[in-house]
Structure 1
């Protein structure tokens, strides 16, 4: 089966799962977590072959934009489904599933970089920790948006709708910081392995990625330190989380987009 039909089918399944969960948040339909997970898994089954196929085509030292986008989306969906079995994070599917599907659709039309060398164990560790860090922090971003909506509703004394559908505010905040801790640990591993195993970072156009990744690391570290020592929470935590995720998004995909799409360099 060709890539585009698979990508379209995955997108439809992801949107269907997200739509049901959105209607659940709006209290228009009953909660059906098994249905949402099932649709997500079916979408993932269409998604994963495309990721595997791209790794077979584009075997550059580090994955290109198309491979990175498709693999990051698949890992984020997989992690969300698995974590939702233990933590009440399935509501994040409302934003995460459609974004993963949209990224899949867009990335199927992008070129893959030509082969420049095999993946060494050190480079593989760097790539794996990078995509896991991005996936975990993407879930944290979706969680932060929901937390922000919950905060705003409570500030305006709206106690129905989304406030009733979401877990308690303290639970939402605890899960957010647990996700940030996990994401920061993986981001630390990614940055450290990059310095250890990736050579000629400026020659490989990785300087911007490194600087922005370090900036994101600082943002998340400041947030966690301030939460622990200064009691940062609520909308301040939401803004810092989203700010860090935007910087990380630019680090992982911004320079690749400019190089591979705008400047057409493999």
Structure 2
């Protein structure tokens, strides 16, 4: 099976879902969450076999840089779909769906060198919780951008357009912090399981990932404390959320990019 045709069609479906939801946000088309979910679900049905094929290409168990991003973005897209049944977070798909499709297309077109190594239940726990933490905090980052746009619009008394399409600001902020709490819980488990089950997480090839993961955890922990003790909200919450998620993005993929792309002859 060739992953590239699957990836191309998945990208088209992801983009179509994002465009419809984006046009809904701009009040250009009526809201049709069922259509958006159907398009994204069809994209995921193509994403999964393509990922399986890409994992089969890797000479080692752990996937390489491009395949890792495609895998984590598939998890993020799936979490958006499932969670949107219970929480108003489908708008996060406007950014995450096209990124998932683009990541899959790049992974299908570029070789990705896997990392040799065995797997144990402890390492599997680390991988699963890391992927879920990334998914939830990526959604939180997209949610934070929407909260920031909504906050700025209300400050300037722009109450039409996007503001009218979004839930109330208090609801948006509550959902944002629910995502951060859930992501932090999973990130904590991922860090602890990594320290327990991975040999020497401060070895040279893992040191950057470990330090940046701790930095992300620290930034988000300060944000949650600030929210609980001092009622942080608005643009302060947005900036801290994006900073913490930025550290996590660098932790997960920064070192892989340097080692596998920049330093590979």
1:61 shift after superposition? 5.6
How far, CA to CA, are the matches of 1:61 and 1:191 in structure 2? 20
**Aligned-residue RMSD, C-alpha:** 1.5
Give 3-state SS (helix, strand or coil) of 2:205's partner: coil
1:70 shift after superposition? 1.2
Deviations 1:88-146 (A, max 9, x none): 11011111111111111122233333462321111111111111100100000010011
Could you list the runs of 5+ residues in structure 1 that have no partner in the other structure? none
The aligned counterpart of 1:160 is 160
Q: Give the paired residue count.
A: 265
Could you list the runs of 5+ residues in structure 2 that have no partner in the other structure? none
Deviations 1:171-206 (A, max 9, x none): 000000000000000100110011001113354611
The aligned counterpart of 1:106 is 106
1:6 shift after superposition? 1.0
The aligned counterpart of 1:144 is 144
The aligned counterpart of 2:257 is 257
Matches within 5 A, 1:196-211: 196-203=196-203, 205-211=205-211
Give 3-state SS (helix, strand or coil) of 1:205's partner: helix
The aligned counterpart of 1:50 is 50
Runs of 4 or more, structure 1, over 4 Å off, are none
Matches within 5 A, 1:16-165: 16-58=16-58, 60=60, 62-114=62-114, 116-165=116-165
The aligned counterpart of 1:213 is 213
Give the conservation status (yes or no) of the 8 Å contact 2:223–2:240.
yes
Instruction: State the TM-score, normalized to the length of structure 2.
Output: 0.96
Instruction: State the TM-score, normalized to the length of structure 1.
Output: 0.96
For structure 1, which segment, 146-155 or 117-126, has the greater mean C-alpha deviation from structure 2 after superposition? 117-126
Give the conservation status (yes or no) of the 8 Å contact 2:209–2:251.
yes
The aligned counterpart of 2:176 is 176
How far, CA to CA, are the matches of 1:105 and 1:137 in structure 2? 23
How far, CA to CA, are the matches of 1:227 and 1:168 in structure 2? 19
